[in-house]
């Protein structure tokens, strides 16, 4: 068997493995003592909570804190939730506005617990939430049609999680929601609960407006960038499919401007105090919204304040001896859940899951066949996958670098690399950047794709030059994998290219644009160094 043929097996095994990601993930509870005390409080009170919406919020907080699904308190909440489904769809416990809150939080909890296992439930929830959207794009209480900023925020969150899990949400839903949020923003950049009724502008509602627009912006980008979609032969891990044709009405520039003005208002008014009238009815609810916009907007500060450090210090000081956080509205269970969602950076965890599924492992070419020797295969998540190789990543790389490695052995090595990435994140790949860089020049395109995928997930900007060079690779799959890696490093939703099946000229032009981007943002101490010297410079730099 030729070395090239063996690498064809590698890619197939990798994609099949990643289709079974849930089977590889093992939860380890959050080690933060503050979070642990909060989770203990929720566990002790879960049995006394009968409301489905409240149970879902408590479940979501426990899930984000990495509580095992087998935990009795979490399992009881999930059982209470799933009892609301029937053959006709989702049957909310409450109506008149709280039903939207309820369905949205149930969607968030189930999507983060087991999106694949609850796919049918999430589709039902998406249909329910879309059915409650008002003609102006908002969600509101029964008898009102002007729009409620808080209810609309939760509907957007629930639909976002459902669509990420594979539920069908038309572009018009995001388009209309974005238009309404822009129409209800004040001239100063803030939001309140009901624009038509007046009332104070608050941090919690402004975070709701900014966060909802950031989500709408992400979801609408799929329709704006139709010409820059993935290669038709690339296999997506999430069965989201190509979005249908839809002409977005909400201007991308106007959405960006509204988000910018919202951030500006928040930066000028960010002040954590339970008695601060600008915070809203619950400072803990407000903090949950702040974490969302910080993660979605990739911002460490609001104004000159590090929002997470200040928020965490506030929560540590306000935690009660019983582990809860207390405020009169709405109750301690919900305030404790919101505090935990802030401390665990819950939105950042959702974004990482999206990154892995949408731009990560599921975007490598598959379907080329399986190894003849099936002894290295197993079943996980209802799919045939390559059994990941155990041991250190160094050993897996040694297999990939060895031209004598059999196809099934190489496939198992790739599976092992991916499994380590899913378990440990970028830290599993970062020490091996130099070897991945070297593999980018291998004569085997399958191995070059593996190298490009791995470099893009190290999280280090110093690998960007190697990926930029790979944009001119003769193999289009290598080019697209390198492009997606650059998207992850740069956090650019709108890529600088090149498009699939690009001409050599288009690839050169895209490489030029990416070099301009890198030259503009790379650390000053790396200027003048070529790609081979960057890692050495980093090693010599004092820590």
- Structural domain boundaries in the chain: 10-20+382-428, 21-224+254-356, 429-543
For the chain, what is the mean pLDDT?
Answer: 81
HSE, side-chain direction, 13 A CA sphere, residue 282: 22
- Band of pLDDT at residue 373, cut at 50, 70 and 90: very low
- Band of pLDDT at residue 471, cut at 50, 70 and 90: very high
- pLDDT value of residue 405: 62
* Ramachandran angles phi, psi of 89, nearest 5°: 120, -150
HSE, side-chain direction, 13 A CA sphere, residue 309: 7
Q: Is the pLDDT of residue 214 over 90?
A: yes
Beta strands in 78-118 (DSSP E): 85-86, 89-90
- Angle, helices 98-114/119-131, rounded to nearest 10 degrees: 160
- Cα torsion 411, 417, 423, 424 to 10°: value is 180
Contact 496, 513 (CB under 8 A): yes
- pLDDT value of residue 264: 95
Averaging pLDDT over each range in 28-32, 60-64, 220-224, which range is the top one?
Answer: 60-64
- pLDDT value of residue 27: 47
What is the rounded distance in angstroms from the CA atom of residue 15 to the CA atom of residue 23?
A: 14
Average pLDDT for 67-87 = 94
Query: Higher model confidence: residue 226 or residue 409?
Result: 409
- pLDDT value of residue 329: 85
Contact 70, 63 (CB under 8 A): no
Beta bridge partner(s), residue 194 = 198
Q: Is the pLDDT of residue 391 over 80?
A: no
- Band of pLDDT at residue 238, cut at 50, 70 and 90: very low
SS (H, E, C) 254-316: HHHHHHHHHHHHHHHHCCCCCCCCCCCCCHHHHHHHHHHHHHHCCCCEECCEEHHHHHHHHHH
SS (H, E, C) 209-260: HHHHHHHHHHHHHHHHCHHHCCCCCECCCCCCCCCCCCCCCCCHHHHHHHHH
Q: Is the pLDDT of residue 22 over 90?
A: no
Question: Which residues, including other chains, have CB under 8 Å from residue 478's CB and lie 6 or more apart?
Answer: 445, 448, 449, 452, 470
Q: Is the pLDDT of residue 241 over 70?
A: no
Which pair of structure tokens corresponds to residue 189?
A: 């950049």
Q: Is the pLDDT of residue 122 over 50?
A: yes
* Ramachandran angles phi, psi of 514, nearest 5°: -65, -35
Q: Tell me the per-residue pLDDT of 289-345, one tens digit each, with 9 for 90 and over.
A: 999 999 999 888 998 899 999 999 999 999 999 999 998 888 999 999 999 999 999
Average pLDDT for 470-493 = 85
Q: Which of 469, 467, 472 is nearest to 454 (CA)?
A: 467
Q: Is the pLDDT of residue 14 over 60?
A: no
The CATH code of domain 21-224+254-356 reads 1.50.10.20
- Band of pLDDT at residue 126, cut at 50, 70 and 90: very high
Which pair of structure tokens corresponds to residue 427?
A: 């830290």
DSSP character string of 484-530: HHHHHHHT-SS---PPTT--HHHHHHHHHHHHHHHHHHS-GGGTT--
230 DSSP 8-state letter: -
Tell me the whole-structure pTM to 2 decimals: 0.66
Tally of CB atoms within 10 A around 22 = 12
What is the rounded distance in angstroms from the CA atom of residue 27 to the CA atom of residue 18?
A: 17
What is the rounded distance in angstroms from the CA atom of residue 308 to the CA atom of residue 316?
A: 12
Which 3 state secondary structure label does DSSP give 95?
A: coil
Averaging pLDDT over each range in 233-247, 425-439, 480-494, which range is the top one?
Answer: 425-439
């Amino acid at each position: 068997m030729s070395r090239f043929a063996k690498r064809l097996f590698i890619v197939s095994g990798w994609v099949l493995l990643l289709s079974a990601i849930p089977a590889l993930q093992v939860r380890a509870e959050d080690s933060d003592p503050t979070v642990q005390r909060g989770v203990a409080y929720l566990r002790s009170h879960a049995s006394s909570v009968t409301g489905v919406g409240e149970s879902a919020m408590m479940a979501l907080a426990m899930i984000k804190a990495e509580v095992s699904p087998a935990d009795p308190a979490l399992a009881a909440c999930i059982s209470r939730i799933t009892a609301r489904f029937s053959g006709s769809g989702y049957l909310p416990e409450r109506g008149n506005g709280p039903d939207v809150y309820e369905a949205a939080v149930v969607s968030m909890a189930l999507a983060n617990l087991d999106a694949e296992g609850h796919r049918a439930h999430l589709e039902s929830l998406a249909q329910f939430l879309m059915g409650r959207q008002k003609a102006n794009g908002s969600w509101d209480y029964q008898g009102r049609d002007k729009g409620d900023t808080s209810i609309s925020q939760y509907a957007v969150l629930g639909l976002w999680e459902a669509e990420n899990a594979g539920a069908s949400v038309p572009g018009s839903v995001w388009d209309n929601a974005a238009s309404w949020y822009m129409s209800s923003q004040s001239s100063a950049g803030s939001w309140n609960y009901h624009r038509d009724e007046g009332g104070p502008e608050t941090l919690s509602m402004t975070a709701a407006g900014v966060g909802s627009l950031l989500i709408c912006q992400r979801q609408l980008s799929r329709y704006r960038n139709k010409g820059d979609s993935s290669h038709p032969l690339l296999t997506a891990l999430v069965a989201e499919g190509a979005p249908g044709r839809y002409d977005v009405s909400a201007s991308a520039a106007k959405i960006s401007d509204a988000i910018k003005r919202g951030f500006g208002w928040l930066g000028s008014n960010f002040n954590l105090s339970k008695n601060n009238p600008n915070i809203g009815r619950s400072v803990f609810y407000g903090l949950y919204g702040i974490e969302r916009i910080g993660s979605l907007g990739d911002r460490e500060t609001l104004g000159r304040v590090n929002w997470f450090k200040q928020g965490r210090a506030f929560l540590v000081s306000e935690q009660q001896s019983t582990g809860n956080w207390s405020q009169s509205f709405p109750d301690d269970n919900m305030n404790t859940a919101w505090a935990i969602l802030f401390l665990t950076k819950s939105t950042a965890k959702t974004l990482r899951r999206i990154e892995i599924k949408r731009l990560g492992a599921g975007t490598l070419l598959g379907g080329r066949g399986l190894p003849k020797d099936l002894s290295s295969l197993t079943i996980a998540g209802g799919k045939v996958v390559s059994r990941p190789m155990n041991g250190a990543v160094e050993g897996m790389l040694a297999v990939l670098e060895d031209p004598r490695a059999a196809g099934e052995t190489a496939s198992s090595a790739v599976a092992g690399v991916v499994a380590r990435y899913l378990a440990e994140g970028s830290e599993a790949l970062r020490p091996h950047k130099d070897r991945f860089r070297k593999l980018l020049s291998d004569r085997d395109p399958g191995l070059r794709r593996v190298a490009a995928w791995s470099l893009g997930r190290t999280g280090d900007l110093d690998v960007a030059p190697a990926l930029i060079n790979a944009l001119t690779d003769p193999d289009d799959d290598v080019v697209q994998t390198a492009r997606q890696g650059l998207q992850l490093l740069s956090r650019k939703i709108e890529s600088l290219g090149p498009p699939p099946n690009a001409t050599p000229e288009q690839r050169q032009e895209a490489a030029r644009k990416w070099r301009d981007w890198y030259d503009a943002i790379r650390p000053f101490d790396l200027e003048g160094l070529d790609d081979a010297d960057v890692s050495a410079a980093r090693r010599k730099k004092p820590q």
